[in-house]
Chain A
Amino acid sequence: GAGVSQSPSNKVTEKGKDVELRCDPISGHTALYWYRQSLGQGLEFLIYFQGNSAPDKSGLPSDRFSAERTGGSVSTLTIQRTQQEDSAVYLCASSFESGGLNEQFFGPGTRLTVL
Chain B
Amino acid sequence: ILNVEQSPQSLHVQEGDSTNFTCSFPSSNFYALHWYRWETAKSPEALFVMTLNGDEKKKGRISATLNTKEGYSYLYIKGSQPEDSATYLCAFNSWGKLIFGQGTELSVKP
Would A103 and B99 count as touching, CB distance under 8 A? Answer: no
| A99 nearest in chain B by CB position | B96
A34 to chain B minimum Cβ distance, whole angstroms, is 10
Total residues of chain A contacting the partner, CB 8 A:
26
Total residues of chain B contacting the partner, CB 8 A:
24
Binds A, one of B10-18, B44-52, B60-68: B44-52
* Residues of B close to A3: CB separation below 8 A: 43
Binds B, one of A11-19, A41-49, A61-69, A73-81: A41-49
Which residues of chain B (79-110) have a CB below 8 Å from chain A?
89, 91, 93, 95-103
A10 to chain B minimum Cβ distance, whole angstroms, is 11
Q: A98–B95 Cα gap in the complex (Å)? A: 9
Would A101 and B32 count as touching, CB distance under 8 A? Answer: yes
| B32 nearest in chain A by CB position | A101
Going nearest first, the 6 A-B pairs with the smallest beta carbon separation are: A99-B96, A43-B100, A42-B102, A106-B43, A106-B44, A42-B100
**Which of A35, A99, A103, A108 is within 8 Å of B95, CB to CB?**
A99
20 residue pairs from A and B, CB less than 8 Å apart: A4-B43, A41-B102, A43-B89, A45-B98, A45-B99, A45-B100, A56-B95, A56-B97, A59-B97, A99-B96, A100-B96, A101-B32, A103-B49, A104-B46, A105-B46, A106-B43, A106-B44, A106-B45, A107-B43, A109-B43
- Given A42-B4, A42-B100, A101-B32, 16 more A-B residue pairs with CB atoms under 8 Å apart are A33-B97, A42-B101, A43-B44, A43-B98, A45-B98, A56-B97, A99-B95, A100-B96, A101-B93, A103-B34, A104-B34, A105-B46, A106-B36, A106-B43, A106-B45, A108-B42
B71 to chain A minimum Cβ distance, whole angstroms, is 17
* Residues of A close to B43: CB separation below 8 A: 3-4, 91, 105-109
Would A104 and B41 count as touching, CB distance under 8 A? Answer: no
Q: A45–B2 Cα gap in the complex (Å)? A: 12
Would A91 and B97 count as touching, CB distance under 8 A? Answer: no
Q: A102–B39 Cα gap in the complex (Å)? A: 22
A31 at the B interface (CB under 8 A)? yes
A9 to chain B minimum Cβ distance, whole angstroms, is 9
